[in-house]
Amino acid sequence: MPIDALLFTAPGCPHCASVNANLNTLLQEGVIAALEIVDASVDAARAQALGVKSVPWFSLGELQFDGALPLGELRLWAERAASSDGMQAYFFEMLKSGKRAKVEQIIRSHPESSAVLGALLLDPEASMAVRIGIGAVLEELQGSGLLDALVPKLEQILKQPEPRNRADAAHYLSLIAHPAALRVLRNYLDDADQEVREIAQEALS
């Protein structure tokens, strides 16, 4: 099902008109279901609540972007936003390009989306940059209560044979520090890998 789009513009913005035109093209094609255009200088409170720092800023469903994108790329993201794996593709791209703040903003608004980070850790295509970005996001949000949906995914990773993956999962669970995460770590106090055992012990201590 096509998603809705929201566009923030401002007077004097050099790229807002082209993004507006491209989104209207997608609206006419039926790729997006609706388009709302907001002047950020008029509705500053709403812009601030959504984390809009520059314009053009737009969202496609739950996916958020700033700056101008060509029509083809906009169409691709609109189609992804309407798909079941759209958020995973979005997180992958944002982390790969060093835009982890975008990922953090989504998780703050939709905590259940933190589970997508676990899916990325299981993705063999995830680069080192993506994995480093995941760690940075978890460190930024640790203790916030926003990462609870990630616990089952990390528990799944802890059952994998690769010690490095298990150690990473144990470390991330220690950052979440939710009772459910600590219950999982108790099961790995006698893990075959020393690093996993030490991480579990430190977290529980």
Statement to judge: residues 101 and 178 lie in one domain? yes
Domain boundary among 20, 51, 81: 81
What does the pLDDT read at residue 178?
84
What does the pLDDT read at residue 204?
86
* Span 33-43, pLDDT tens digits: 999 999 999 99
Statement to judge: residues 188 and 121 lie in one domain? yes
Output the domain CATH number for residue 44: 3.40.30.10
Q: For 39-69, b where at least 16 C-beta lie within 10 A, e where not — what string? A: ebeeeeeebeebbbeebbbbbbbebbbbebb
Statement to judge: residues 94 and 161 lie in one domain? yes
Statement to judge: residues 90 and 191 lie in one domain? yes
Domain boundary among 81, 97, 123: 81
* Span 38-91, pLDDT tens digits: 999 999 999 999 999 999 999 999 999 999 999 999 999 999 999 999 999 999
Domain that holds residue 100: 86-204
Output the domain CATH number for residue 93: 1.25.10.10
* Span 125-161, pLDDT tens digits: 888 999 999 999 999 999 899 999 999 999 999 998 9
Domain boundary among 47, 63, 81: 81
Whether the predicted pLDDT of 112 surpasses 80 = yes
Whether the predicted pLDDT of 162 surpasses 90 = no
Answering whether pTM is above 0.85, one says: yes
Count of domains for the chain: 2
Statement to judge: residues 32 and 95 lie in one domain? no
